[in-house]
Amino acid sequence: MRAALAILPVILSAPALAQSVVVSSAPVSTSVTVYRDMGRGDGAMNPGWLNGYALISEKRRISLPAGESVVRFEGVADGMIAVSAVVSGLPGGVSEKNRDARLLTPASLLDGSLGNRVHIRRTNPATGKVSEGDAIIRSGSGGAVVLQTQEGVEALRCSGLPEALVYDAVPEGLSAKPTFSVHTNSPSATTAEVTLTYLATGFDWSAAYVATVAEDGKTLDLSAWLTVANGNGADYRGTQLLAVAGKPNQTSDFRALGAKPEALSLALQCWPMDGTSTYPAWGVQPSPAPAPPPMAAGMYDGSEEVIVTAMKRSESLQASPVAVTAQQEDLGDLKLYRVPVPVDVVPNGQKQVALIGKANVPFERLYTRTMNPWDSEDEGPLEVTLRMQNKVKEGLGVPLPAGGVVITQRQNDEDMLVGESRLDDKAVAERVELDVGESEQVRFEQKTLSVDESARRVRITLTNALPSQAKVELRVPRFSNYRLNASPKPVPDGADSIVSVVIPANGSKKIDLTFSAR
């Protein structure tokens, strides 16, 4: 019987010998081009839920035997979209592609060995001696593992002492890393440089801006960082990093196509052997857990790594002091940002590279309000808006990708935070506006003067408590069945009309608006 069992694996493996398996454990070089999550708009990225994607290109050096073989590309992205994969450079071409979706975990190792003989290493509760014996796995990883040993049938790890299973081999089909495989037929034995290109989910990128207002309140310095997030377990060391701005058309459900490999978890449960103090369900409440240490109580839990490329400090951004800055290129109607040096994009982490640096950009400070003419009474502070023109002669003149903006004010050579804002994609020559927040120094009051069949008359009172004048813009929605009359004269702006007025320092002004029926 033992002789027959020894010969059986040889017989079963004979057909497999006709087809060699070639393993490529890691790429020689990579290129990662990241596309943003279009559904996010100008909102912030969520590191735990990245809905962007990336085009990944990997160059690998592979030694191929003559004849048929299976080439396994290990370490591909978790969110790989297998149907998008293209393999070039194989002398015999590709006859079949497979995404190996089962990862090697304690649970999958256990399930793959169901019904097979393994070794169990355990501690004798009486003597403390560690011994090893044979066992057969009789159940899977769902809650409890049942073993059959020469002593009988029992559950794993229910003795309260250390127990471990030792496997002779890894079951077929399990991969320690996400793996993509292809079948090829090489005319001769050779070493080939192969390129694997594919789309993968679990990436995103955004711009992070800092706008520092000068002490005179007339200009600001605008800098931006390209922030790339990698939600995959794949590690891209020394990669060529690129990011695409714009809105390329996407009709496929990438998240469904790029489902991550199956990684079963192992959670063993046994009948409780402790006292009633361990299990609140038995009527005794446990003592409260101690408070976490200061580091654990903070927002950062160590689950992701953030790497920031170093930036030299200088008094003038105009002098381009940044050691590494992403270079802008045209990609059809899209914008491409290329990092000129190899960088590391780590698993489940973020990477930041300098993107923009502009100094002494002139801006206009406005106090704005979108009014509702049907409110009989209303009052409150006006919103502060910093307006710039994205033109070269105005100190900018560069495409501005969407992202968050931190706004600071320089005061006695210190930068003080005054607000945060969001910025949508802005092309060259477009108007750029940053919302800083509300000002209690510049306020408005709205009252309805009269209403009849022909017109509605509203009075707006604006007050300015600042020691300098304040320019106010009232945004009034336009209605097809009403005509707006006011002094100063309203100016059309999209679906609204703008009424502009300058309030003197420590002064006030009244504006009467009349909505006449057409």
Q: Which residues pair with 183 in a beta bridge?
A: 70, 96
Q: For residue 193, count other CB atoms closer than 10 A to its CB.
A: 11
Q: What is the pLDDT of residue 257?
A: 61
Instruction: Retrieve residue 289's tokens.
Output: 């857990």
The angle subtended at Cα 250 by Cα 249 and Cα 254, nearest 5°, is: 160
Model confidence at 291: pLDDT above 60: no
Instruction: Retrieve residue 239's tokens.
Output: 């990669």
The Cβ-side half-sphere exposure at 469, using a 13 Å CA radius, reads: 8
Residue 132 near residue 119, CB atoms below 8 Å: yes
Q: What is the pLDDT of residue 175?
A: 61
Residue 285 vs residue 362, higher pLDDT? 362
Per-residue confidence at 143, pLDDT binned at 50, 70, 90? low
User: Averaged over 428-437, what is the pLDDT?
Assistant: 93
User: Averaged over 208-228, what is the pLDDT?
Assistant: 94
Cα separation, 341 vs 186, in Å, equals: 36
pLDDT in tens, 325-352: 899 999 988 999 999 999 999 999 999 9
Q: How many helices (H) and strands (E) does the chain have?
A: 4, 31
Residue 475 near residue 370, CB atoms below 8 Å: yes
- The Cα-based distances of 264 to 82, 201, 404 in angstroms read 21, 20, 37
Q: Which residues pair with 445 in a beta bridge?
A: 379, 461
Give the list of residues 6+ apart from residue 15 with CB closer than 8 angstroms, or none. Answer: none
> What radius of gyration, in Å, describes the C-alpha atoms of the chain?
33
Q: What is the pLDDT of residue 176?
A: 60
Per-residue confidence at 19, pLDDT binned at 50, 70, 90? confident
Closest CA to 504 of 474, 456, 463: 463
Of 76-80, 222-226, 320-324, the one with minimum mean pLDDT is 320-324
Per-residue confidence at 48, pLDDT binned at 50, 70, 90? confident
| Percentage of residues in the chain having pLDDT higher than 70 | 74
Residue 79 vs residue 282, higher pLDDT? 79
Give the list of residues 6+ apart from residue 484 with CB closer than 8 angstroms, or none. Answer: 476, 478, 490, 497, 513, 514, 515
Q: For residue 410, count other CB atoms closer than 10 A to its CB.
A: 16
User: Averaged over 401-409, what is the pLDDT?
Assistant: 93
Across all residues in the chain, what is the average pLDDT? 80
Instruction: Retrieve residue 479's tokens.
Output: 């209605």
Q: Quickly tell me which residue has 């209605």 as its tokens.
A: 479
Q: What is the pLDDT of residue 281?
A: 43
pLDDT in tens, 160-187: 667 777 766 666 656 667 889 899 999 9
Per-residue confidence at 412, pLDDT binned at 50, 70, 90? confident
Cα separation, 177 vs 76, in Å, equals: 8
Q: What is the pLDDT of residue 295?
A: 37
The angle subtended at Cα 75 by Cα 69 and Cα 81, nearest 5°, is: 85
Instruction: Retrieve residue 419's tokens.
Output: 């607000």
Region of 360 on the Ramachandran plot (φ > 0 left; ψ -120 to 50 alpha; else beta):
left
Cα separation, 325 vs 327, in Å, equals: 6
Model confidence at 9: pLDDT above 60: no
User: Averaged over 181-206, what is the pLDDT?
Assistant: 94
Highest-pLDDT range among 292-296, 308-312, 365-369: 365-369
User: Averaged over 188-215, what is the pLDDT?
Assistant: 94
Distance of CA 84 to the CA centre of its chain: 21
Q: What is the pLDDT of residue 317?
A: 42
Residue 69 near residue 23, CB atoms below 8 Å: no
Domains of the chain: 106-166 (no CATH), 366-382+436-517 (2.60.40.1180)
- The Cα-based distances of 35 to 30, 55, 213, 243, 247 in angstroms read 16, 8, 31, 6, 9
Closest CA to 269 of 156, 161, 163, 118: 156
Q: What is the pLDDT of residue 376?
A: 82
* pTM assigned to the model: 0.70
Residue 404 near residue 420, CB atoms below 8 Å: yes
- According to DSSP, the β-strands at 482-486 and 508-517 are antiparallel
Per-residue confidence at 287, pLDDT binned at 50, 70, 90? very low
Q: What is the pLDDT of residue 481?
A: 84
The angle subtended at Cα 167 by Cα 136 and Cα 3, nearest 5°, is: 70
Instruction: Retrieve residue 313's tokens.
Output: 């400090």
Model confidence at 286: pLDDT above 60: no
pLDDT in tens, 96-134: 887 665 555 566 566 655 666 777 777 777 777 887 777
- According to DSSP, the β-strands at 377-389 and 403-411 are unpaired
Cα separation, 414 vs 417, in Å, equals: 10
pLDDT in tens, 236-268: 999 999 999 988 887 776 666 655 555 555 656
- The Cα-based distances of 276 to 157, 158, 284, 288 in angstroms read 20, 18, 6, 15
User: Averaged over 437-455, what is the pLDDT?
Assistant: 92
